[in-house]
Structure 1
Amino acid sequence: MDLLSLRYFRAVARHQHISRAAEELRVAQPSLSRTIIRLESELGVPLFDRHGRRIRLNEHGAAFLRRVERILTELDDARREMADAAGDGPGRVAVAAETLVQLGGVLAALRAHRPGVGVRLFQAPPESMRRHLSSGEVDFAVASQPLAGPGLCAVELVREEVMLAVPPGHPLAGREHVTVAELADEEFVSTRPGHWQRALLDRLFAREGLTPRVVCEGDEAAATPELIGAGLGLGLMPAVARQTLGGRSPVVWLRLDAADCHRTLTLVWRQDAYLSPAAQDFRRLAMDAAHASGVMSSWRNRSWKV
């Protein structure tokens, strides 16, 4: 059993698809298949259930994957730590986030503090963030909804109000606030399930025994104001968007009379992860930015394990 076989296994286990894993690894499919078969033969148990050309990780494979993830993550952490000890360049930091917009200022500050620092960004929903963290692919996740899991630490950066955006001329446009029950028959523009806007919308409606009528869903949250302004439906938007758009806002803003109608941004990292000096600088700058920003007036500097 060698490290290359373990890396191949991890890729196949993640994709549960030989050709996609081969594409990621840039190896030939037959070679990848033979490596997995040899690994299973060496271990004495099948790691995947096979149905024709389809494969699925079985209970043995899931148990093996948990240990392989730890092995490869520790190895990658060790390599980064030794590179930092050798003074090998300005370092690098990798971050996953649901939306990348809020990272611009922090990354600019990091590059000013550490010229030449390497930065790698992943746009991902919470489940993918958790996987990126556990595998060591990223140092941090910036999550807009709770990101629970064993061995994770987090610091709350932002707690901001989420408002209802409606098209100009809509019957609700003259109101200052509205209840969720009054929105039962309205159509909504939202993100796909898994993103924080959709999770909040579903949660607020479920609390009233309702299901929102989503007529437009996608992954491009930044397009939501324009779609709402075009009359496609209503939508939930963070209060910071109102400030950012200012007089250019194509929508009318209302407050929702609902408990817990806010978005909380948290910075999350693995408790036992090695954080390079560059990663530590990113964490400090992110917390400094949260503390200094006016839109983060309810910022609380506290960390916890989840």
Structure 2
Amino acid sequence: MDLLPLRYFQVVARHEHISRAAVELRVSQPSLSRTIARLEKELGVPLFDRQGRQIRLNSYGAAFLARVDRALRELDDGRQELSDTAGPVRGSVAVASETLLTLASSLPGFRTKYPDVDVRLYQSSGAVMQERLRRGEVDLGLASQRIDDPALETAEVLRDEVLLAVPTGHPLASRTSARITDLAGEPVVTTTGEFWLRQLLDRLFAAAGQCPNIVCEGNELGATAFLISMGLGVGFVPVMAARYDQAGVTFLRVEAPDCYRVLTFAWRRDAYLSVAAQRFRDHTTESLRSEARN
């Protein structure tokens, strides 16, 4: 069986839309439709249910997709493994992270050390990151929370304390620490629920018997301190982010247990991790730990 129709089938199955798949594959819609039709004829069963222009992966297609994903992943891993043994570190590594600021300081050093490795970054919530890892869309995920997924291998990078950020001039700004009960009724700036920062906030407030007064929630964790500096409210910021100059913000210790994030690298347990990805993981781990020590 030719591999190209299988790769086309993967993309169509992911989009469940011929025209969107054709755009990604850079082929014409009629050509893609004919390729899928020939594949179905060869297999002897339809892979999609069709209603007008709508297509949906059916039970045959879902079962076949699982096999196709596994087979093509093995072939791709085999090709990468051979490439890794044939010469210097080269290729590409795709990395997902909940906030790209976490990777910013380590990237220049990695590019200098491994100029032949192309790095692609994707911002993703924890749940989306795990799904991308399982589908093989990224090689590594750098999560800010513990990952409990039997399909993934993990390695803890470090534990980063989380501070309370308040606008300069706020009544709490003259203190060195604060309790969650001190924030009763305070406007809070945070993220939406799929990100670790909101999950930490909800856990700490619940443990203190409080309900946060959330006035601003978004998907960009790196913007939290800036929004606080504008006077929108108070919020949580990890130590590593607090080290960047944040004019108009004062940081306090939080008097609560487990007020930290756990930076963790994750990758697929059943897949070959390329040398480029291993080098990226190891370089970034050492860079982040060195930054935390300093």
What range is the shorter-chain TM-score in?
A: 0.7 to 0.9
1:228 to partner: Cα distance:
0.8
Residue pair 2:89, 2:276 contacting (<8 A) in 1 also: no
Matching residue of 1:71: 71
Change (3 A) 1:3 1:220: same
1:197-216 to structure 2, matched below 5 A, reads: 197-208=197-208, 211-216=211-216
Distance 1:229 1:145 in 2: 26
**Stretches (4+) displaced over 6 A:** none
Distance 2:170 2:51 in 1: 53
- Identity, in percent, stands at 54
Distance 1:23 1:108 in 2: 33
Change (3 A) 1:52 1:182: farther
Residue pair 2:18, 2:29 contacting (<8 A) in 1 also: yes
SS for the counterpart of 1:159 is strand
Matching residue of 1:146: 146
**Mean alpha-carbon deviation: is it higher for 157-166 or for 190-199?**
190-199
1:273 to partner: Cα distance:
2.5
Change (3 A) 1:232 1:290: closer
1:143-222 to structure 2, matched below 5 A, reads: 143-208=143-208, 211-222=211-222
Distance 1:40 1:223 in 2: 49
SS for the counterpart of 1:268 is strand
**Are 1:276 and 2:257 an aligned pair?**
no
254, 257, 270: which one aligns with 2:255: 257
TM-score by length of 1: 0.81
Change (3 A) 1:25 1:280: same
Distance 1:184 1:53 in 2: 53
**Mean alpha-carbon deviation: is it higher for 232-241 or for 17-26?**
17-26
Deviation per CA, 1:3-37: give whole Å up to 9, x if none: 22322232233334444333322233444445445
Change (3 A) 1:27 1:233: farther
Deviation per CA, 1:31-59: give whole Å up to 9, x if none: 44454455455555554555665555455
Distance 2:212 2:100 in 1: 27
Residue pair 1:160, 1:296 contacting (<8 A) in 2 also: no
Change (3 A) 1:176 1:273: same
Change (3 A) 1:168 1:61: farther
Q: CA RMSD in A?
A: 3.0
Distance 1:9 1:123 in 2: 26
Distance 1:27 1:258 in 2: 56
TM-score by length of 2: 0.84
Deviation per CA, 1:44-87: give whole Å up to 9, x if none: 55545556655554555444333322222111111212223333
SS for the counterpart of 1:253 is strand
**Mean alpha-carbon deviation: is it higher for 191-200 or for 69-78?**
191-200
Name structure 1 gaps, 5 residues minimum.
298-306
AA matched with 2:280: F
Deviation per CA, 1:203-254: give whole Å up to 9, x if none: 3334456553433233332222121111112221101222222xx4321222
Residue pair 1:91, 1:117 contacting (<8 A) in 2 also: yes
Change (3 A) 1:90 1:155: same
Residue pair 1:77, 1:273 contacting (<8 A) in 2 also: yes
Change (3 A) 1:232 1:82: same
Name structure 2 gaps, 5 residues minimum.
none
Distance 1:164 1:214 in 2: 15
AA matched with 2:124: A
1:1-306 to structure 2, matched below 5 A, reads: 2-40=2-40, 42-43=42-43, 47-48=47-48, 53-87=53-87, 90-208=90-208, 211-245=211-245, 248-293=246-291, 295=292
**Mean alpha-carbon deviation: is it higher for 172-181 or for 228-237?**
172-181
AA matched with 2:240: V
Distance 2:158 2:79 in 1: 33
Distance 2:22 2:107 in 1: 33
Change (3 A) 1:20 1:189: farther
1:132 to partner: Cα distance:
3.0
1:181 to partner: Cα distance:
4.1
